[in-house]
Amino acid sequence: MSKKRIAIVGATGMVGEAMLAVVQKYNMSKHDYTLFSSKRSAGKKIQLFGKTHIVEELNEKSFDSGFDVAVFSAGAGISEVFAPIAVEKGAVVVDNSSKFRMNKDVPLVVPEVNPDDIKSHKGIIANPNCSTIQAVVAIYPIYREYGIKRIVYSTYQAVSGAGVKGYTDLDSGIRSYVDGIERELVKFPYPIFDNCLPHIDDFLESGYTKEEQKMIDETKKIFHDDTIAITATTVRVPVFGAHSESINLELDKEYDLEALKELLSNSPGLVLQDNVSENIYPLASNSVGKDEVFVGRVRRDFSIKNGLNLWVVSDNVRKGAATNAIQIAKVLLED
């Protein structure tokens, strides 16, 4: 693999910092990195592979020097303006925002599921929503082997999915409970501490939230299958890191439960944790900082023919954002 030039846009944010951790984990030291941020964080010094990088302010001339890959994690507004500029200057963009996900000309990629879609890019590749990524990693082997008629997603999403302000609201709630001093909310419409909010992103006219609709639309696009019936309810819970999901499936074919578990245990990116006699099942607290998707509580749904229940947990900042994006970048660099 020859030496390439990589730009990380949003390098000082929560996901950007995780991206830098992932490139070090993958030992991608051969390449040259340039780190970009907003004016507020420009000038910050970051150590990467033993070298000090000074974060540069992103502007319209940032990509003039030429990059092979530019990984964006700075929000849809930044991606809308600067991703086309990066492409025009010769870079392939891996975008972590929602801006391009449902664009028909932009592949939406989870490397364990649809890596071949990377080849069809026209300059931009989209990273799916965090809750979608972990879900499809878990259910794709089942879809491939048995087919899926219907999916019911119920999510229990950590405040890290709402960024630093989400962290702040949960931390403030804990402090308020301890010292009795009420603190102002900066992210959520209601306190998240000691609470569950069935409200992630804006509500649509349908009554669904954008987060719920994302999971529906993105699953169909990643699988290239509009025939699957999908519904979703997404909930913010008072957990700092890692999303948990209850996934109910109706399969096309009959299945043997032990064979299905064996299939999951041998699937890329998945770790089966399923021994209820010893209280072994995926936990958010055990998933933080890890790049895998953990699946357990695998059991038959007796209420419908070929029904199946799964419990799926993953670090939404790592696999749900940073790791997935860097995996895509790695494929591009190796090609």
To the query of whether residue 53 is one of the catalytic residues in this protein, the response is no
Q: Are strands 148-157 and 270-272 parallel, antiparallel or unpaired?
A: unpaired
Counted residue by residue, the chain has a size of 335
Task: Dig out the tokens for 56 from the structure.
Answer: 């540069």
Q: How far apart are CA 126 and CA 329, in angstroms?
A: 11
The H-or-E segment that residue 52 falls in is strand 51-54
214-233 core/surface letters (b: 16 or more CB in 10 A; e: else): bbbbbbebbbeeeebebebb
130 labelled catalytic: yes
CA distance 244 to 183: 28
Strand order in the sheet with 229-236: 229-236, 148-157, 243-251, 307-314, 293-301, 270-272
Q: What CA–CA distance (Å, rounded) separates 315 from 313?
A: 7
d(CA 69, CA 49): 18
Please tell me what DSSP assigns to residue 36. E
Q: Exposed, middle or buried by CB within 10 Å (0-12, 13-18, 19+), for 157?
A: buried
**Beta 148-157 vs 229-236: how paired, if at all?**
parallel
- Residue tagged 């900042």 (tokens): 317
Catalytic positions, please?
130, 243
